[in-house]
Structure 1
């Protein structure tokens, strides 16, 4: 499949009230790496919504999340330790309607997993957003994918974006389950790079952005070039590469 040669569209409001939004998915490894490089990458992506995975969960985690938001010209929307790691950030373009942090059933011997969810309004659109980080075991991921889809349905909005670190590749059962119900944005409209892990010599696509049917995908992938960001920044920021998507969400209640 040929990647789109066009630049990824900027955020904007269309005359019909629909909104072009930029959604970023990024595993930040608990901010254990170069946080200045990380902030440069996020700012350069100019996102409206950021689905973070592995946000700080322990000592002074709220201050760490607030500091990341301030450094990237964003605000904390939901998640963090209360969602077992997934975190949502947003620009001031988004008006928050409601948020919910969800803890998933604990698999013995594994890390607790959760979902950070929110419903926001951007221009004339109402959008659900969900950040996830699925487990390391195949059976665990399958169960979590099913629960994730149930929560998407329970959010009760017609248009929802799901993004995260799946710990699974596109041929895996959890990835395929999500892609069967939702649009895998990278597959629908490839843009930029494909592989997300590890950052120095990526060989797997385990991070993804999905969207419900009815959202138009304008492009999705790992940014090849970002203003003011070097390849060294991408390698130093964390142990995953970011996934950026541009989506057109229809106007509606």
Structure 2
């Protein structure tokens, strides 16, 4: 049965908002791009925190094609962040963006952060997308940089999406979860396993700062407009979809 019982996007009385956030490693769009677009559209996200966005020849055109195919707009990231990228719906007003590269370890891939501060309804939210190293030692160091980057947004309400390349019981993931809410652990919805090859683990996640209420988070199997086969065909990672209630921005006058 195809259902979506995750809360829909909404602006609530008093200015708070329910925001749907999708974190997704799209493997540089090397798989079935039509299936990828169906998956993203079916998730009905306000924000998409992407990892492994196209970052080589004509990467901007590829990013624009994906945004057009999914009814979203490009916000920031891609080649400028070594892969992380952010897309948003027209519901979001982008205040500022910043692309940041992490220190590079010789012989390992460059890593980075795509970051943005956005207003949605009466709320203000910072968003961070990242993809951590395959090296356990470097991952643990980068987990500390992730927390620094979240703090550096200067915003009380932050959502972080990423491919963390390790499950929750490993040191880097656990370091982040000690300071931020792990969406799936807080309010599980859908599935947990996010990679499609053994060992099957939850290595992709959505985190949020403590003032954000997690209404549900996990991997959708089937939704109206997409099938489980679309998820398998779109990427070697499964998408992680979260519904978050973000408080109204105290600095904004409310109607």
Residue 189 of structure 1 corresponds to: 187
Query: Of 33, 37, 51, which residue of structure 2 is paired with 1:39?
Result: 37
Which residue in the other structure is 1:217 paired with? 214
Structure 1: any 5+ residue segments left out of the alignment? none
Mean CA deviation greater in 38-47 or 144-153: 144-153
Question: Quick check: 1:40–1:72 contact (8 Å CA) kept in 2?
Answer: yes
Find 2:178's aligned residue among 160, 164, 180.
Answer: 180
Measured after TM superposition, the shift of residue 232 of structure 1 is: 1.2
Q: After TM superposition, list the pairs within 5 Å mapping 1:1-253 onto structure 2.
A: 7-198=5-196, 203-252=200-249, 253=251
* Cα distance in structure 2, aligned partners of 1:219 and 1:77: 25
Shift of 1:16: 1.3
The number of residue pairs the alignment matches comes to 248
Cα–Cα, structure 1 residues 123 and 202, in superposed 2: closer, same or farther, change >3 Å? Answer: farther
TM-superposed deviation, 1:99: 0.1
Q: Which runs of 4+ in 1 moved over 6 A?
A: none
Rounded to whole Å, the distance in 2 between the matches of 1:224 and 1:198 is 13
Instruction: Find the residue that maps to 2:64 and give its secondary structure.
Output: helix
Counterparts of 1:6 and 1:42, CA distance in 2: 14
Q: TM-score, normalised by structure 2?
A: 0.95
Secondary structure of the equivalent of 1:181? Answer: coil
C-alpha contact (below 8 Å) 1:193/1:221 kept by paired residues = yes
TM-score using structure 1 length: 0.96
